Structure 1
Amino acid sequence: MILPLVIALAVLHTQGSRWAESSEARITQSPQLRWLTQDVRRWQKVEGIIDWPKTYVNPFDPEEVTVDVLITTPDGRQLVQPAFWMEDYAWRQMGRQQGGEWFYPQGRAGWRVRFTPTQPGQYTAVVRVKDAAGQADSSPVSFTCADGPGHGFLRVSRIDPRFLAFDDGTPFFAIGQNLAFIGSSSQYFTLSGAIEAFHKLATQGANYLRIWTCCEDWALCIEGRKSAWGRSWAWRPPWIDRPADIPPPSFAASSIFAGVRGDKLIPITEKSLQPDPSHRVAVLPNTRYRLSLAVWSSRPGVTLTVRIFGREVPFSIPEGDTGKWTILTADVISPVDAVWLGPVELALSGTSGMQSAAVYLAGVSLRDPATDRELLWEAEPGRPVLGRYNPVDAFMLDQLLAAAEKEGLYLQLCLLTRDLYMHRLQDPSSPEYAEAIADAKRTFRYAVARWGYSPHVAAWEYWNEMDPNLPTDRFYEELGQYLDEIDPYHHLRTTSTWGPSPKDCRHPHLEMAEVHYYLRPVDRGRIRDEVAAVIDRTAFLREHAPSKPAIIGEFGLADDKWREDPQMPQDTELIHFHNSLWASLLSGLSGTTLFWWWDQLDRMNVYPHYAPVARFAQEIRFGREELRAVVWEDERSGIRVMGLLGQRTSAFWLIRSNGTWLSRVRGEAPPRKEPADVSLPGLAPGKYRVTWWDPWLGQPGETGTITISTAQNQVWTPAFERDIAVVVHVGEE
C-alpha cells in the first residue's frame, strides 16, 4: 500500500537567500575532541569525534580546511595524525534478488580521527583546525594505553631486506590473491560476499589480499567518476558547457548547492531525463525527504515535472524568476514499503508554443531532513571527480578493513584511479604533472587519515598498471617524501605497470617491487608452464630489486586477449594454482603469486590449497636468517628443484617435468608415483636431518638423515606423484 504523497513546494532565489541557518563559526571558537574508544590497547585503533561547527564547500580539500590531531606519545615525541571528513552509513545485506547491499546515511557527517598507539602509556591529543580565517586549537585530551596483542606494522625485514617483518621482528610471508572488484550486485563479490571470502581465506592460512579502491564506476572506488548520468565504458552524459549568455550560479554559502560551479548544465526538455546512480539509492519507508532543483529558465510559465516514488511532482517557475538561477523545493514522502528510491524522471510540460524556451539544470538533491544527508550526490551535473571522495565506497573500505583485522589478513590497497592521472604525467616539467602530484597528495592524505591507522594496511599501491614508459620518477619521489611527512605509521609503498618497469623496481621511494604476469598461449614458446613463469619473473625482480621485498602482484592463466583462459575451469585439480603457489613460496620472493580471476577461484574453491603452503612456510626461516634461492633442472631425473638455502635450515620443492598444468592440457600421461634420485643443489658437505612433506596435504611424512659431500649431493626421495617438498636441517640432531 502507498500513502498519499505529501508535497510542500517552495521557490528560493539566489539573491540574498539562506538555504539553512548559517553554521559558520568564528575562529575564536575551539574544536572539541571526544574519544569513542574506552579500552585503549597497543596496536589497536583509537577513534574520536571532532566537534567543529563550521561548514565548507569541500571538506575533503586541505587547501580549504585542514584538521590535524597533534599527539604527544609516552616518550615525549609529537606525531601529527590527519583527521578526515566522514559520512557514516547503516548497512543491510539485502541479497542479490532484493537489490544488493543497502547503504543508508546514518547520522550527520562530521570530523573523525583514527590513531593506533605503538607503545603503552599516556597520550595527549590536541585538535588543530586551519582554514582561511586562521587557526583554532582544542584543549588537550588524554588517554592511557595498556599493552595489547599484536606485532605492529609491516616493514622491510632488518635481517634480510628481501622479505617482510613486523615492527617486533616477527617474519611475514604473504600468502594470498587478488580480490580486486568489490561492489554492488553487478559484481561477483559484494561487500558481504567479500567478507565471507575473507573468512574462507583466513581459515585456510592465507594472510594477504590485493584490493582495488580505484574501480572507476563498476566497483569500489574512492576517487572516481561515479555519476547518475552515465557510465565510464559508454560515457555520453546529457550536459553541455554553460552557454556564454547564462551567468554562473552563485548560491549562498549555506545552500546545499553552494559548491555547484555550473560549468556543466543539463538542458531540460519534454523528453524524459532519468538519472541512474551507480550505487542504488537506499531509502527509509514512510519518510519525508526534501527534493530540490537548481534551475535556470528563459521564460515564465514553464512546469518542470519530477516523477519520484511513483508520483508526479510539478514545479512551476514563477513570472519573476526567469533569467536567473532559482532553487525549487518540495517535500516528498516515500511509500510505507520503500527500500530503494526507484526510478526518477525529469521532464518539461506546459511549453506548447514556447519552442524558444530554454531551461537548464545545475543541481538536483534529495535529502533526509533528519540528518541533512544527501542521497542523490551522484546527480550533480559535471560533479568534480578529483578531490571528492565517494562516501559509500569509503564506508565499504572501512568494513573491509575491519574484517581484515578480525581475520588476520593484510591488505595491499591499490588506491589511485590511474586514468585520472596518466594523461597528465607526460612531461615532468609541465603544470599538468604538478597538478597530478597535488591531486594525489590530497587523496593520500585522506587515505592516511581514514585507513592509515591500521597495521592491516600492508602497503599503499599507487595505482594499477601505469604505463611503464611514462616519466614517473618525479611523481614517486614527491609522493614518497609527502608520505614520509604525513603518514605517522610509514606504510610500505609500491606500484605496478602493464609491462616490466626496471626503473620502478629500483626507485628508492618504492619499498616493494611488483610485476604482473599472465601465462598466455602466445608466450608458451618462451615460457612453457606456470613454474617457468614464476622463475622467469622472479629473475627479473631480483635483477632489478635485489635488496627489497618483491611480489608477483597479478598472476594467472589468460588467453591472448588478456581474458580468462577458457581452459582454466578444466583444471579441476587446480594444478596450475597449486604449482604457482609452491614455486613462488620457494622462489626467493616475499610472497606467493597473487592470482587474478577471483570469481573463478571462488567457484573452484581454491581456498584449501593455501593451507599446505601456509604450514610449510612456517618451516622456512624468512627474515630470521639470510636465505639464498636456487633453481636446478635435474635432466637425468626430469625433476625441477627450487629451494631456499639457509645457514641452519633449508627448504626445497621438487616437481616432475610432466607434473605441470600444461602437461595436463596436452593430454600427457600423469606422473607415476615412485621414488626419485635427485640432486639438492647448494648444500655444503655434511650431515643433515630431512623431513619430507606432501605439498597437497601440507603434512610432514618420512624423516631421515642424509650425507652431502663434495662429490655427491644426490638423495633418494620417498615415492611421490607430481611433486614433493623437503625441509633440511644442519646436523643429525
Structure 2
Amino acid sequence: SDVRQSADEVERWDMIEIIFVIENSAATHPQFPYDPEPAKGLEMSDGITAEGLFSRDGWQTVYRRPAFLRQRYERRPVDDAEWLYPEGEPVWTLRFSPPDEGEWHYRIEVQEAKGNATSETYSFRVRAPGANNRGPLRVSPTDSRYFEYADGSAFLGTGHGTGYSPERFSYDAADHFDAIGEGNQELLRWWIGGMIWGSAWQPWNSLTLDFDGYLPPTGLTLERAYGDGLVSLRLDAENPVMFQGWGTGHVGLVPGRSYRIRVRWRTEDVRGPAIPGRPYGVTVKFADWPEPGKTGDLPAVISHVRGDSPWHVAEATFVAQTDFLPGPAIILENTPHGAAYIDEIIMHEVLPDGRQGPQLLRHPRFNAHLDFEPRRAEGIDAVLAEGQSRGIYFKLVIGEKNDDLLNRLAPDGLPDRVGGHYAAGEGSPIRALHRAYWRYLFARYGAYRSVHSWELVNEGDPNGLDLFDLAADLARAAAADGNPHMVSTSTWATLATDSWKNPVSEPLSYVDFHASVRYSGWIEPKEELLNDSARFFLEYDREAHAAGFGKPVVWGEQAIDSTQSPDVQEPLLAQDEEGVWLHKIVWARCAPGGSYPLYWYTEHIMEKGLHSIYGAWNRFMAGIPLSNGRYEDAQATATDPQLRVVGQKDIAGGRAHLWIDNSRHTWRAVVDGDDIPVVSGQIGIAMESSNRPYRVIWFDTRSGEPTSEEVVSADEQGVLILRVHALETDTAVKIEPVE
C-alpha cells in the first residue's frame, strides 16, 4: 500500500524510485528473500520477497527488479566528516532504470510464509536521454574486445583503483571527482567488500591481535554463540579491547538527545581485580583510542560484569554532547582471567514518547552473515549517484574470499574451524547467503548506470575453479535482473588462461588479470619493462590478445613496483614530475589488443595531478567507432626502428588512428637526465585503396587536440605514407577519408 514514485516521467536509463508499505508482514529477516526450503543452518531466516515487474508492451516483456528495505538518512558534512542520521522508519524501496522510451507500467509482488500479495498497476513515462546520458555499459556485440555504452558508442575506460576516507567517505569521493576533473578518468575500481556484509574489513578494531595476512583481525570465535548465531566476539587477556572510531568513521548524533546503548553478552571465569580497589570485568566505554591497560579512568557507560554470567542484556542511557559518538569500546579490564563473549551491541535514540528510533551503530551484530549494514550502504549510494552525475563508472569488488566468518559456515549448516567454505556449492547455506547479498546489491545499486560491473572477489586462485563457479552464478543472476550489469572476478597471478577458457567461466563478462612488473609479473626482461612503461603495457596487451579469450580483458591491477615490496611503487617514479610513465601507458592503448589497464598505486596520479593525461587520450579517441567490429591492427611500418608505432584501422570505413612514439623517450631516460636523440622517418600503413586521398590530422598528445591537418594520397599499392620529422617525444594521428 501507499505506493509513491519519485517522478511521473524520467529519462531513458535514468532511475525511477518507488517506495511502498508492506502491511502485517511476519518476516523476521526482511533483507533476505523468502525461501520455503531454507538451507541447513538458515532455518531461522524467515525472509520476504518483494519485487517490481515492469513492462512497456502489455506484459509481453517483463523486467523484474528486487526491492529492498531502506533506512533513509540525512547526510551532510559536519566538522569535515560525513554525518549520517536516520530519517524515520525503514521503507520498502524499488529502483528501476528503464531501457526504452514510452509508457511503462509496473506492479509489485510480495511473497512470504504468510502468503502472497500483488499491488494494483501503476505507470510512468520515459523520455529520450539527455546529451550526457549514454546508458549503462555492456560488452560490445560487434567487437568482443570492447565495452560500449547502451547507445552503441565505445567506452574507453581510462582509470585506476580508488578508495575513500572512512571519516569523510562520500564527501571525500566528491573531492576525488573534483580533483579528477571533467573528461579524464572514467573507470574506477573500488573495493566495497566487507562494507555491507561479512566480517572482513568490519569497523571493530583490536590493538593487540595480529593481522591475518592482509586482513584486520575480527576477534570472532566459534566457541560460543547466542541462539542461532554462528560466532561471537571474544575478549580475553590476549584481546581485551575492541572498539570503533579509528579508521572506521564515527556515528552521527544530535546533541541534547537521549540514547540507549544495549549489549548482549556473557562472561566466563572473569576474576580479579588485578589492581585492588578498581572495577574489573567487561564493560562499555567511549574512547577513540582505548589502549589496553590504560582505560581504568574512563567512565563506564555500562557497568562491569564479572564472574560467570549467562547470556543476558545490559544497557545504559546517555545524553549526546557532540555531533559524533566517541568510539564505542567493549573492554575486558583489570583482570587477567576469563573471557567475555559478545553477540551484539546496538544503540537507538530514545524518542520523546519513549519509543526507540532506528539502530545507529555500524556492524552492531557480530553474526554479520545474517545482516546488511545500512549506514555505509547509504554512503555508497551517495558515491554512485555523484559518480553517475559526472560520467564516472565503478568496477565494484563486492566480496572478500578470505572472510573469516563466511568461510566457516559448513555445507551442513554447522560451524567449521577449518573453514574454506566461501565458495561452497549449490544447496549450501553460504551459497544461499551469497545470493541474498547479490540480490540486495542489485536492488540497491543495480539501477545506477554508474555501475560498470560486479567483481566477485579480489585475486582468487588462478588455477582453482570454485571461485569461477561462484562468479558464474553471480553472472547468471545479474544477467536475469531487470537492470543487468557485467560480472567478473580477478586472479592474483598469470592470465589464468585455462580457467578463463573453462566452460565454467563462460557466463563471465570479461577477463580480469593482475600483474606488476616485478612481483606478480611473468614477462621478461622485467628491468626493461620497468624502465619503458609503454613496452610494459604492450607486452602484456599482446599476450592477453593472443590468448583469444573472446571477451574484453581488464588489467585490474597494473603496477610498476619496487624491489623492496609489492606494496610500494618504484621510488624513482616520484622524480617523474610530468608523469611520462603514465602518459606512455595511456597512449600505448592505441594498440589493437584492447586491454583496459587500471593502475594500482594512485598516490602520484592524485598528488601530481596527472588526470589530464587520461583526458588527452580520451579527446583523441572521441568519435572513433572503436567497437563497430571492423577495427584491426594497423600493422604500420616505420623506416627507423626507434619509431614505435601502434594503432588500428577500419579498411571499409577508410579510417585509422596511430600513436607514434620515440621509443628512447622513456620515463627512466627523463628521470636519469639522458640526452634523448630525436627521431625521423616514414610511417607506412596499408589502407588497400590505390591513390585514394585521406585527411591526416596530427595531434599533440599532451592536450589531445589537433595541431595540423593535411591531405595525403595512398600510393598505387594502397599504402599511405606519413612523414615524421625530429620527433622528441610522441605524436598521434587520425586518418579519415576525403569525401
TM-score of the aligned structures, taking structure 2 as reference length = 0.80
Question: Mapping of 1:493-512 within 5 angstroms?
Answer: 493-499=487-493, 500-506=495-501, 507-512=505-510
Per-residue deviation at 1:692?
1.3
| Partner Cα distance (1:597, 1:342) in 2 | 31
Aligned residue type for 1:725? A
Aligned residue type for 1:664? V
Determine which of 697, 706, 715 is the counterpart of 2:722. Answer: 715
Determine which of 335, 338, 341 is the counterpart of 2:326. Answer: 341
Is the Cα contact below 8 Å between 1:426 and 1:433 reproduced in 2?
A: no
1:198-254 residue CA offsets vs partner (Å, 9 max, x unmatched)? 23435134322222212x4xxx565443142538836556665556xxxx755xxxx
Aligned residue type for 2:30? P
| Partner Cα distance (2:316, 2:26) in 1 | 24
Determine which of 48, 62, 73 is the counterpart of 2:55. Answer: 73
Determine which of 611, 614, 620 is the counterpart of 2:618. Answer: 614
Judging changes above 3 Å, is the alpha-carbon distance between structure 1 residues 545 and 94 closer, same or farther for their aligned structure 2 residues?
farther
| Partner Cα distance (2:369, 2:210) in 1 | 15
Per-residue deviation at 1:579?
0.6
Per-residue deviation at 1:329?
2.9
Judging changes above 3 Å, is the alpha-carbon distance between structure 1 residues 596 and 503 closer, same or farther for their aligned structure 2 residues?
same
Counterpart in the other structure of 2:259: 289
Judging changes above 3 Å, is the alpha-carbon distance between structure 1 residues 669 and 356 closer, same or farther for their aligned structure 2 residues?
closer
Judging changes above 3 Å, is the alpha-carbon distance between structure 1 residues 467 and 435 closer, same or farther for their aligned structure 2 residues?
farther
What SS does the aligned partner of 1:652 have? strand
Question: Mapping of 1:159-558 within 5 angstroms?
Answer: 159-179=142-162, 181-185=163-167, 190-214=169-193, 216=194, 223-225=198-200, 226-230=202-206, 233=211, 241-242=222-223, 249=226, 261=229, 263-264=231-232, 266=234, 273=241, 275-277=243-245, 278-296=248-266, 306-308=284-286, 311-313=299-301, 315=303, 324-335=310-321, 337-342=322-327, 344=329, 346=331, 361-370=342-351, 372-380=357-365, 383-420=366-403, 434-472=428-466, 473-485=468-480, 487-499=481-493, 500-506=495-501, 507-520=505-518, 525-526=525-526, 528=529, 529-545=532-548, 547-558=550-561
How many residue pairs match? The answer is: 666
Per-residue deviation at 1:469?
1.2
Is the Cα contact below 8 Å between 2:204 and 2:243 reproduced in 1?
A: yes
Per-residue deviation at 1:516?
2.5
Judging changes above 3 Å, is the alpha-carbon distance between structure 1 residues 229 and 123 closer, same or farther for their aligned structure 2 residues?
same
What SS does the aligned partner of 1:450 have? helix
Judging changes above 3 Å, is the alpha-carbon distance between structure 1 residues 59 and 655 closer, same or farther for their aligned structure 2 residues?
same
Counterpart in the other structure of 2:17: 47
Aligned residue type for 1:456? S
- Identity within the alignment, %: 21
| Partner Cα distance (2:456, 2:330) in 1 | 39
| Partner Cα distance (2:582, 2:75) in 1 | 35
What SS does the aligned partner of 1:691 have? strand
Judging changes above 3 Å, is the alpha-carbon distance between structure 1 residues 159 and 272 closer, same or farther for their aligned structure 2 residues?
closer
Per-residue deviation at 1:607?
1.0
Greater shift in the superposed pair: 564-573 or 136-145: 136-145
Aligned residue type for 1:726? V
1:645-674 residue CA offsets vs partner (Å, 9 max, x unmatched)? 1122101111112112233345431343x6
1:398-443 residue CA offsets vs partner (Å, 9 max, x unmatched)? 1111111111122222222232378999899965995554333222
Per-residue deviation at 1:495?
2.2
| Partner Cα distance (1:184, 1:58) in 2 | 28
Judging changes above 3 Å, is the alpha-carbon distance between structure 1 residues 690 and 117 closer, same or farther for their aligned structure 2 residues?
same
What SS does the aligned partner of 1:460 have? strand
What SS does the aligned partner of 1:659 have? coil
Counterpart in the other structure of 2:598: 594
| Partner Cα distance (1:317, 1:211) in 2 | 42
Counterpart in the other structure of 1:257: none
Determine which of 67, 71, 78 is the counterpart of 1:83. Answer: 67
Greater shift in the superposed pair: 103-112 or 260-269: 260-269
Counterpart in the other structure of 2:4: 34
Aligned residue type for 1:575? V
What SS does the aligned partner of 2:369 have? coil
Q: Which 5+ residue runs of structure 2 have no aligned equivalent?
A: 36-45, 271-278, 288-297, 411-418
Is the Cα contact below 8 Å between 1:398 and 1:451 reproduced in 2?
A: yes
TM-score of the aligned structures, taking structure 1 as reference length = 0.81
Is the Cα contact below 8 Å between 1:655 and 1:722 reproduced in 2?
A: yes
What SS does the aligned partner of 1:152 have? coil
Determine which of 32, 57, 61 is the counterpart of 2:32. Answer: 61
What SS does the aligned partner of 1:83 have? strand
Judging changes above 3 Å, is the alpha-carbon distance between structure 1 residues 719 and 242 closer, same or farther for their aligned structure 2 residues?
closer
Question: Mapping of 1:556-595 within 5 angstroms?
Answer: 556-560=559-563, 561-562=565-566, 563-589=568-594, 591=596, 593-595=597-599
Counterpart in the other structure of 1:20: none
1:726 to 2:711 alignment: no
Counterpart in the other structure of 1:24: none
Determine which of 605, 611, 615 is the counterpart of 2:609. Answer: 605
Aligned residue type for 1:462? L
1:41-66 residue CA offsets vs partner (Å, 9 max, x unmatched)? 32211112221254654333224323
Q: Which 5+ residue runs of structure 1 have no aligned equivalent?
A: 1-30, 251-259
Per-residue deviation at 1:126?
2.5
| Partner Cα distance (2:641, 2:333) in 1 | 81
| Partner Cα distance (1:324, 1:361) in 2 | 11
Counterpart in the other structure of 1:661: 667
